[in-house]
Amino acid sequence: MVRDRVGDWRLAWRFALAGLLGGLLILALSSIGLVESPFQAAQDQLFPGPAPDPNLAFVEVDSRSQKALGTFPWQNSYNARVINYLAKLHPKVILFDIPLDHLTGVDVETGEKTDDLLTTAIRSAGNVVLVCTADVAPRPEFSTVAAAIGDRNLAAPDAADVVRGAPLRPQSTCPENEADEPAFIQALRLATGISSPLKIARDGSSAQLGPHNVPLVDDQMLINFTRGSAKACSYVDAYNSSCPDPSLITNHIVVVGTKLIDGGDVYSQALSFPHPYEAGFCPPSRRDCMQPNQNYGYRILGYAISTVLDDRYVRTQPHSSTLLAILLFAIVVGLWVYLLSLRTAMVFTGAVLILYYGGVFVLGQQGYLSDPVYTPIAIVLAATFSLAARYVLEERERRKVERIFGRYVDPRIAQQLAASRSVEEIISKGERKDITLLFVDIRGFTAMSEAMAAEDVQAVIHEYLEEMSTLILKWSG
């Protein structure tokens, strides 16, 4: 009987308003950034993580190289020897992600001028890109003969303390980086023959690099991190001119970097994947040296190259779209939770959450990162608020029924009527009992009532019913 009022469309707006209130609370929560770190951490799990790019290869200064060649860094003649070997295999470009900021002079054992050897090797290769930062720049002996100089800094960590992308215009860089571009862009230019300038849209939403239209998020390009290890050759193998598969170098983009856990080039990235000891991520003495979401900087630069090279960009849901989704889902869920039965409403809320997360996952695999936190919280909060408002309505209606019927029937019967689901339930269901009926009349009532005022008649009836009701209810009548 009370629940006849629940599900009434005339009251539906109140529950849509309850859902809207939940949505507005989530909007306030998102604006103050209280759960920004969990939001970023959850969204990081949506990065698609494609397979390694077949156009990319790494030459790695790993623990095996350090064991064979001695403590890193080495003489510049070692770097010269590696570059000469790689150049003979004709790679598209060599991104040398090892700062060449010092001279090593003459080799005391061989008498070779190590710096001259490196200068000659870089000049002869003709496609070596050197890296720098605002604080560390390559020596003029090397920078003047390199094909290009680029900045190697990545974007600042997000609220979850992970690196998501790379800026296309470094905030500060070395004077030798005349193009004011990151090193991976310079490597892309050499590898693909792009000579047109990098153009960034006025609103900062995208950048044009030759045929590549690169979307930007907060002035950075989000990197589509690779899940797993790409093709690689150990530095010591390149030093000895014995990479296991030279075809991995020929006509490939080659990134040379340090794969040493204590080399200071380890970052937390958005994507997590296992680091098997067999793949050389960790030295034999420290097989669990890295967390699943950690990676080496030179590899992240390689992932940045493949992101643009293959046009496999990562985009985030626009802020306005997130706000709209929060409000829309909150209103719809708040409304339907009221219109449905309690059990169906709970199932409906769970189904909406499952479908939402399923859609978020599918979009993530396509490179679109949606809201994994705020909208689901809004859905749950809207359902909670709607159920709370529904409970208040039922209690209010139940008390009204008890108050009205309690004046004429046993309060227990009034409570039973209030607890009924509908009028049909009262009519269709009954209970067989043996009862006693007593018909009572007030002697001379007709004549008496004709001679009395209406108010006096009502007072007499109330007094009579009060006495009789007390006696009848005393014996469960």
In order along its 477 residues, the chain shows pLDDT tens digits of 444 444 455 667 777 788 888 888 888 888 887 788 888 888 888 888 888 889 999 999 988 898 899 988 899 999 999 999 999 999 999 999 999 999 999 988 888 899 999 999 999 999 999 999 999 999 999 999 999 999 999 988 887 888 999 999 998 999 999 999 999 999 999 999 999 999 999 998 999 999 999 999 988 999 999 876 678 899 999 999 999 999 999 999 999 999 888 777 888 888 887 766 555 667 777 777 778 888 889 999 999 999 999 999 999 999 899 999 999 998 888 888 888 888 888 899 999 999 999 999 999 999 999 999 999 999 998 888 888 887 777 777 777 766 666 666 666 666 666 566 555 655 556 667 777 777 777 777 777 777 788 887 788 877 777 777 777 767 666
Evaluated on CA atoms 355, 359, 365, 369, the torsion sign reads negative
Alpha-carbon gap, residue 29 to 31, rounded angstroms: 6
CA 272-276-280 angle, 5° bins? 110
How far from chain centre, in Å, is Cα 285? 35
3-state secondary structure of 55: coil
Inter-CA distances, 36 with 43, 158, 319, Å: 10, 9, 13
pLDDT at 451: 79
How far from chain centre, in Å, is Cα 332? 23
Q: Give which of 305, 367, 268, 349 is closest to 46, Cα–Cα.
A: 367
Alpha-carbon gap, residue 466 to 139, rounded angstroms: 107
3-state secondary structure of 341: coil
pLDDT at 406: 62
Cβ neighbours around 380 below 10 Å, total: 17
Phi–psi pair at 375, nearest 5 degrees:
-65, -45
pLDDT at 1: 41
Given a contact cutoff of 8 angstroms between Cβ atoms, the answer to whether 260 and 62 are in contact is yes
In 265-328 the beta strands, taken as DSSP E runs, fall at: 266-268, 294-296, 315-316
Cβ neighbours around 180 below 10 Å, total: 13
Give the contacts of 474 (CB within 8 A, at least 6 positions apart): none
pLDDT at 369: 93
Alpha-carbon gap, residue 221 to 302, rounded angstroms: 14
Cis, bond preceding 73 (omega within 30 deg of 0)? yes
Cβ neighbours around 247 below 10 Å, total: 11
pLDDT at 4: 45
Alpha-carbon gap, residue 380 to 378, rounded angstroms: 6
pLDDT at 2: 41
Three-state SS string across the chain, please? Answer: CHHHCCCCHHHHHHHHHHHHHHHHHHHHHHHHCCCHHHHHHHHHCCCCCCCCCCCEEEEEECHHHHHHHCCCCCCHHHHHHHHHHHHHCCCCEEEECCCCCCCCCECCCCCCEHHHHHHHHHHHHCCEEEEECCCCCCCHHHHCCCCEEEECCCCCCCCCCCECEECCCCCCCCCCCCCCCEHHHHHHHHHHCCCCCCEECCCCCEEEECCEEEECECCEEECCCCCCCCEEEEHHHHHCCCCCCHHHCCCCEEEEEECCCCCCCEEEECCCCCCCHHHCCCCCCCCCCCCCCEEEHHHHHHHHHHHHHCCCCCEECCHHHHHHHHHHHHHHHHHHHHHCCHHHHHHHHHHHHHHHHHHHHHHHHCCEECCCCHHHHHHHHHHHHHHHHHHHHHHHHHHHHHHHHCCCCCHHHHHHHHHCCCHHHHHHCCCCCCCCCCCCCCCCHHHHHHCCCHHHHHHHHHHHHHHHHHHHHHCCC
Alpha-carbon gap, residue 411 to 470, rounded angstroms: 12
Given a contact cutoff of 8 angstroms between Cβ atoms, the answer to whether 191 and 92 are in contact is yes
Helix, strand, coil shares of the chain as percentages rounded to 5?
45, 15, 40
